[in-house]
Amino acid sequence: KQEVTQIPAALSVPEGENLVLNCSFTDSAIYNLQWFRQDPGKGLTSLLLIQSSQREQTSGRLNASLDKSSGRSTLYIAASQPGDSATYLCAASRGADGLTFGKGTHLIIQP
């Protein structure tokens, strides 16, 4: 059974800092790994999806990496802004079924 863990559970940093969010998964037989952000009372916004054959994906100030062999993914946020404050979730897909989510990292960017 796939288990996804995210560290840290919460993070507060000053505006402008670069930061890394960590995600680990127990079953390396994944199809892809997806990073989302969730704002309070809202749904999930997809940020990046990394296929199992890929090592990383980039979108603007965000970069996500995937190391299947070690069961790890990281989300790197460059030059953080207050608008980046949200809960960040990673989720692993084993195939034709649903995603397995971590509990998220609650991120606060201090102005």
Partner 1 sequence: NAGVMQNPRHLVRRRGQEARLRCSPMKGHSHVYWYRQLPEEGLKFMVYLQKENIIDESGMPKERFSAEFPKEGPSILRIQQVVRGDSAAYFCASSDTGAVQPQHFGDGTRLSIL
Using CB under 8 A, list all residues that contact partner 1: 4, 31-32, 34, 36, 41-46, 49, 51, 89, 91, 93-104
Nearest to 84 by CA among 35, 24, 33: 35
Distance in Å from the first CA to the final CA of the chain: 41
- In the complex with partner 1, the residue whose CB is nearer, 21 or 36, is 36
Q: How far is the CB of 54 from partner 1 (least distance, A)?
A: 11
Q: How far is the CB of 13 from partner 1 (least distance, A)?
A: 23
Helix (H) or strand (E) run with residue 99 in it: strand 99-101
